[in-house]
Amino acid sequence: MQNAIELNKQIRIKDIAEKAKVSIGTVDRVLHNRGEVAESTKKKILEIIEELNYQPNILASTLASKKSATFATLLPQPPSGEGYWTKPIKGINKRISELPQYGLQIESFTFSQFDSKSFVEEANKILAIKPDGVVLAPFYKKEAMAFIKELEEQNIPFVFIDSEIKNAGQLSYIGQNSYQSGLVSGKLLDLMLPDGNILVIHFAKEMDNQNHLVQREMGIHDWFKQKKDNNHELFTLEIPDTNSDEWMTVVEKNINEKNIKGILVTNSKVFYIGRLIHKLQLNDMKVIGHDLLKENIECLKNDRVQFLICQRPEEQGYSAVNKLFRSIVQKRKIQEESYTPIDIVTKENVDYYKEFK
């Protein structure tokens, strides 16, 4: 097996040309699909390429061109050093560090999760440097679509991470299927709750513009819509600001007035609900949230949260920049969608997810 691998590495265009009894230039035209080559000759060359398992030396050609690629990332700014959005950055940097011979450059841009204007400002900075590719979290759908239009006009490929806009011209999407994640949350709450209603909480601004959170809410609603014997009513609450404790009063009022027995928090801020449950001693409340932040794990281990849906953010960052590398540098065809697993994490298995903490 080792000899076969070594042989494949030694296959050159010259070897293909000699076997096909044609010139090196003819093989080169077939490989790069340029120039006129007789159909019978082209077919013969392609068969020999497949037979010999020829793999072009991408590294040599890249180094010969003396041109390194620059990728830009546009991600939300983490609110703290332990925040969710620190993790995709770790994955991105890890993949870049594995490819020093290609001279890849990363230009990182971050925007506020509470200000769509900052997204536009950072997007304009990216357009000004004209990168070879972009990793993009389309956090604000309207602003993201305007940015995408500019990227397409400049022929700059882009990969979505964390949330997806369907058929927007992306090279690929890396992340969970947010709608399916909502279905999973619905099933879990359904299994835990013999009766009582459910409160879906978005700790976010401009909800109509945040596609992934909307998709999760749609998923949980559709889970209960399809049940014939459904005895749970769903309510939704948007909390744009947690700087004061007023939001706690609003949530407590909803819990008391609407017979709430279960809560789904659609993003990584479920620890806020964990704190409220501890304060009000709501020990029977069943709660599901997202992401393995330190605060969320603490709530999980203290039984203030029953399940966390893990999105593998570091893996998302790693895969997203790898998609750009394989497509732009290696000229390979890549999958349009790469959904990450929808991991259901409990206090019993959370310690086995150390790589995502």
Alpha-carbon separation of residue 159 from 19, 317, 318, 341 (angstroms): 40, 10, 12, 18
Q: Contact 107/44 with Cβ under 8 angstroms?
A: no
> Is the distance from CB of 79 to CB of 46 less than 8 angstroms?
no
Q: 10 Å Cβ neighbour count for 3?
A: 7
* pLDDT of 270: 96
Residue 325's nearest CA partner among 98, 154, 151, 153 is: 98
Strands (DSSP E) along 295-336, which ranges? 307-310
Enumerate residues 6+ apart whose C-beta is below 8 A from 282. Answer: 255, 276
Compute the distance between CA of residue 329 and CA of residue 304 in angstroms, rounded to an integer. 47
Q: Is the dihedral of CA 209, 309, 269, 312 positive or negative?
A: negative
Alpha-carbon distances, residue 175 vs 56, 73, 239, 341 (angstroms): 30, 15, 24, 8
pLDDT-wise least confident of 50-54, 157-161, 317-321, 325-329: 50-54
Q: Are 96 and 321 in contact (CB under 8 A)?
A: yes
Residue 200 pLDDT: 97
C-alpha distances out from residue 32 to 20, 28, 29, 36, Å? 17, 6, 5, 11
Which pair of tokens denotes residue 245? 């404790």
290 neighbors 309 (Cβ within 8 angstroms): yes
Report the candidate in 228, 226, 141, 231 with the shortest Cα–Cα distance to residue 178: 141
Question: Quick check: 119 pLDDT over 80?
Answer: yes
pLDDT tens for 167-197 read: 899 999 999 999 999 999 999 999 999 999 9
- DSSP-assigned states of every residue in 119-138: HHHHHHHHHHH--SEEEE--
Burial, 42: exposed, middle or buried (Cβ in 10 Å; 0-12, 13-18, 19+)?
middle
| Cβ count near 153 (within 10 Å) | 9
- Residue 68's pLDDT band (boundaries 50, 70, 90)? confident
> 3-state class of 46 per DSSP?
helix
Q: Mention every residue, 6+ apart, whose C-beta is less than 8 A from residue 127.
A: 147, 150, 151, 154
Mean pLDDT of 196-213: 85
CA distance 120 to 117: 5
Residue type at position 102:
Y
Mean pLDDT of the chain: 87
Span 247-272, average pLDDT: 95
pLDDT at residue 56, as a whole number: 63
Q: What are phi and psi of 184, to 5 degrees?
A: -60, -45
Query: What tokens were used for 219?
Result: 């998923």
* Structure token digits, residue 355: 């790589």
**Span 212-224, average pLDDT:** 93
pLDDT confidence bin for 3, thresholds 50/70/90: very low
Nearest partner of 314 among 293, 297, 333, 335, judged by Cα: 293
Residue 8 pLDDT > 50: no
Sheet containing 70-76: order of strands:
105-111, 70-76, 133-136, 158-161, 172-175, 337-339
pLDDT at residue 163 tops 60: yes
- Tens digits of residue pLDDT in 293-318: 999 999 999 999 999 999 888 999 99
Domains of the chain from N-terminus onward: 2-56 (1.10.260.40), 68-175+313-340 (3.40.50.2300), 178-310 (3.40.50.2300)
Mean pLDDT lowest for which of 42-46, 121-125, 198-202?
42-46
